[in-house]
Chain A
Amino acid sequence: MAKGNMERAASGETFVFRRPTIGVLTPVAALGAAFIILLTASPLLNLFVAALAAGSRGLSSLLSGSVPTLLAKTLLLATLATLWALLLGVPPAWILTRTDLPGRRLFRVLGLLPLAIPPYIGALTYITLLGPVGPVNKAYQAMGGSGQLVNIYGLWGGVLVLGLFTYPYILLLAGSALESSNPAMEEAARAAGHGPMGIFVRVTLPLLRPSLLAGSLLVFLYALSDFAAVSFLRVTTFTTEIYHQLNTRFDQRGAAALSAVLVLLTLLVLVAQRKSLGRRSFVQRRSGAKPPTVYPLGRWKVPALICTYLVLGGSVFLPIALLLYQAGSAATIFQTLASGHRYLWNSLWTAAVAATVATVLALFVAYLIDRRKGPVGLLLTAATQLGYAIPGTVLGLSLILLYNTYVPWIYGTAAMVVLGYLLRYLPQAVQGSAAALSQVDPNLEEAARGLGRSGWQALREVTIPLIRPGMTAGWMLVFISSIKELAATLLLRPAGFDTLPVRIWIATIEVDFAVAASTSLILIVTTALPLFLIKRLDSGISQLD
């Protein structure tokens, strides 16, 4: 996976203050910006219009009853899940990049695998194991215990599962930042007499702040908008309440009003992130090829290995082992694959197209935001970032209304599924490209133009190669998120067009656990393959330069 150029900005080496380039918007750029804003802001606008149409009734339903409590509960869940993910992600990130742990390269790839496992599958795993009649509680009762040793249902179960299946965002971002940071500062700290712990707290951690913030943001926003995993774990959150408004009362306006609260909340979180990172922008120059310091583990080798295996065990081995057990035999898996290969294909191409379109759009958005400060940049940032917070079901219904009314020739085709992925996960690609681009000195491009290159050539020959890892990371994140998407897909898919998550859902409804488990395994392998490929490709690229 990408070598964390996303965060090199602040974790990196030489900081050079950059004068922002203020440019006039060319007509073509304006057209492009208008297109993207139309694409991404229309569902948001639709949402707010519906929320306003809910009027006083919607407002009173917001202020009264269980909503404030629910909001507090949801924030608590998201905060605790984020802290848990940090706890799970940061130590392995350091151990796997800065120590001589045997097998650390393999572990770094395995550590990303939980991203390939949809959290709702993770939730089902832990319900099976730790549920009231799961083996853990049964064994406890058999040993004479009364009641339950652990209760998987409720807030703590939600925190456990959400953290376990989202920590790779932090591992990925923090790991890359650690790998690419300049050892000079740490050496200076060591010369000043600090031990490894002191160096970590005083030098490494502050440098990691942007990547930790970015990773935490992904986890936090995921926890806010997740529906399936939390509902399996019987946690009531803001999203389950929205779902209730929609599916019990068929109150689409009430649901829109509640979703608008989530969007505003996301806005606050994003503003907080920007404030916390400060207003300066940095350009980082790659200094020599000096690798970061690697600490010998010595007698800490075994504890570090145990720690790594525990994290991987809970988030990778355990769920996969259980799925293999539920699938029963290899024959079942092959049979599912043979009869359902078109679902695999549907999932693959829709996710790949969405990831590709998102990457191209994100490059354009990041370029405009970075190179042209002003209202357009702000508007683009808001329009492309806020969709992340809208629950998939609400986004899906909003898109149905918009596209069926205004562009009916698109509605009813698989392009709607792609659109759903795109709007939900574009923020991931934009974050990747924007962070990478913020580290490229615009003077480089200008120099290329001074040497007679056209604008396009300068972009292609100078900028894109420099930000390619960031773009690749963005592509992967969008691909992984898209291929797991269920809520919006259920609504947006044309009749007769199913994806792998839809088939898992259908098999679960049919109580056909063998097929559900087989399909889940196919989904996980499909998601993991590009993860491995890109990781290889990327290390190949980095060896070249």
Chain B
Amino acid sequence: MADRGTIGTTVILLILGWASAIMLAPTTPASASELVIYSGRKESAIKPVVDLFERKAGVKVVLKIGKTSGLANEILQERQRPRADIFIATEAGVCEVLAREGALDSYAPARARSIPSEYKSSKGFWTGISGRARVILYNTGLVKDEEVPSSVLDLADPKWNGKIAIAGTLERTTLSWLGALVHVLGEAKAKAYIDGLLRNGLKILPDNSDVWRGVGSGEFALGLTNSPNYHLALKAGLPVGVVYPDQGPSGMGSLVNPNAVAIVKGARHLVLARRFVDFILSQEAQAILVRHAFEIPLVSGMDAGEVRPLSSFKSLKISQERLADLEERAIRLFPGF
């Protein structure tokens, strides 16, 4: 059986193949002057900001667009040798998870001083860059204006049986909404409320875009979702209306979930990363972010455009640290995913 030659050649071939595959790789690893950004925010929202920063700072930025949770898992796996400098998350709770795992660096930008304390980390691990309010979206063809519920607590009413949609807890904004309910109502009452909704045929969908498209198309009469989705549905020409719920004197208010920016611990371009954080809070970057994605500005003095500004409605005040503490209990409120 002297097929040493045969196998030897095969081994050499496969090693050569492997080596050439690696050398063929046209991407160069980020060099010293390249800022690496992992963004869970959409490309159309963040790319213009990044482009402007590249021009102003005269540096090259490498952008990786992905799911916020996927990128966060990636940052956790890369902890031993961090690759990203900046993490942009669609939900601040994820940053809180990363901060607790020791994966973020702290930085308190001067521009963040005007941001209310719920929308930034008390230890400077992350800073809110814009917000989204939890709202009730309704189909104007199916629900008359006077019927529109003004509180989320009214949604267990049998007249909404099978007509309400919400995204599952894979959408972090749903999770923090559940956490806020536990905070405001207490765990027992929150559970009773959610069970009531489930008995009333609450439909749990994979994500928020299913919710607003479902409400817009008439598949559902009401949807529990985020404020920018109302504007997206309007832009798509769908017949929708919006309610900022629980605004009465004793109402709990509408929860605002911040999008956040954070610096990764061990970032290779720390100075540049801090400059980027300063920049994303600047007037011009904020204008692009807000205008593009119908987000609520968090820094003071910004024109909110068609979006309702923070000052115009009652918001539910809860810190992200508290929400993170409540997370395990919030997850248990919801069946499946």
Contacts and interface: CB of A to CB of B under 8 A. Distances in A.
Contact of B170 (A248, A356, A408): A248
A249 interface: yes
A363 B76 CA distance: 37
Contact of A353 (B21, B84, B219): B21
Interface string B1-22: 1111111111101110110011
Contact of B43 (A28, A231, A510): A510
Given A133-B218, A249-B331, A458-B6, A32 B83 contact: no
B169 interface: yes
A144 interface: no
Contact of A360 (B17, B36, B73, B83): B17
B272 interface: no
A490 B4 contact: no
Interface in B21-62: 21-22, 24-27, 29-30, 36-38, 42-44, 62
A23 B4 CA distance: 11
Contacts of B214: 132
Contacts of B110: none
A134 to B, nearest CB: 9
A414 B72 contact: no
Nearest to B44: A510
A133 B217 contact: yes
Contact of A496 (B8, B9, B63): B63
A414 B25 contact: yes
Interface residues of B, number: 66
A252 B26 CA distance: 31
A363 B30 contact: no
B4 A455 contact: yes
B38 A28 contact: no
Given A248-B175, A415-B22, A506-B65, A26 B7 contact: yes
Contacts of A491: 66, 70, 73-74
Contacts of A31: 11
Contacts of A509: 42-43, 209
A66 B170 contact: no
Contact of A236 (B26, B44, B336): B336
A494 interface: yes
B80 interface: yes
Given A360-B10, A456-B5, A511-B209, A400 B30 contact: no
A232 B21 CA distance: 34
A493 interface: yes
B288 interface: no
Contact of B81 (A252, A367, A408, A506): A408
A202 interface: no
Contacts, number: 175
B6 A456 contact: yes
Given A410-B22, A413-B27, A455-B3, A244 B337 contact: yes
A287 to B, nearest CB: 29
Given A252-B73, A412-B29, A458-B6, A357 B18 contact: yes
Given A236-B336, A401-B77, A412-B83, A24 B1 contact: yes
Nearest to B38: A495
A367 B62 contact: no
A343 B129 CA distance: 31
B285 interface: no
B236 interface: yes
B69 A404 contact: no
A408 B169 CA distance: 34
A363 B10 CA distance: 9
A234 interface: yes
B70 A247 contact: yes
Interface in A372-425: 393, 397, 400-401, 404-405, 408, 410-415, 418
Contacts of A360: 10, 13-14, 17
B73 A456 contact: no
Contacts of A122: none
Between B3, B11, B69, B209, the greatest number of chain A beta carbons within 10 A of the residue's beta carbon is seen for B3
A329 interface: no
A60 to B, nearest CB: 15
A243 interface: yes
B67 interface: yes
B83 A404 contact: yes
B99 to A, nearest CB: 12
Given A244-B170, A250-B72, A496 B64 contact: yes
B64 A133 contact: no
B6 A455 contact: yes
A246 B73 contact: yes
B7 A364 contact: yes
A517 to B, nearest CB: 16
A29 interface: yes
B320 to A, nearest CB: 15
Nearest to A247: B69
B1 A414 contact: no
Contacts of A393: 70
A250 B97 contact: yes
A367 B18 contact: no
B64 A246 contact: no
B29 to A, nearest CB: 5
A454 interface: yes
Interface in A486-545: 490-491, 493-497, 506, 509-511
Interface in A466-489: none
A404 B78 contact: yes
Given A28-B4, A236-B337, 12 more contacts: A28-B7, A29-B11, A131-B219, A234-B205, A247-B67, A357-B17, A357-B18, A456-B9, A458-B3, A493-B64, A510-B43, A511-B209
17 contacts: A26-B8, A28-B7, A132-B217, A133-B217, A231-B206, A241-B337, A243-B170, A248-B172, A364-B7, A367-B7, A401-B77, A412-B27, A412-B83, A413-B29, A455-B5, A456-B5, A494-B64
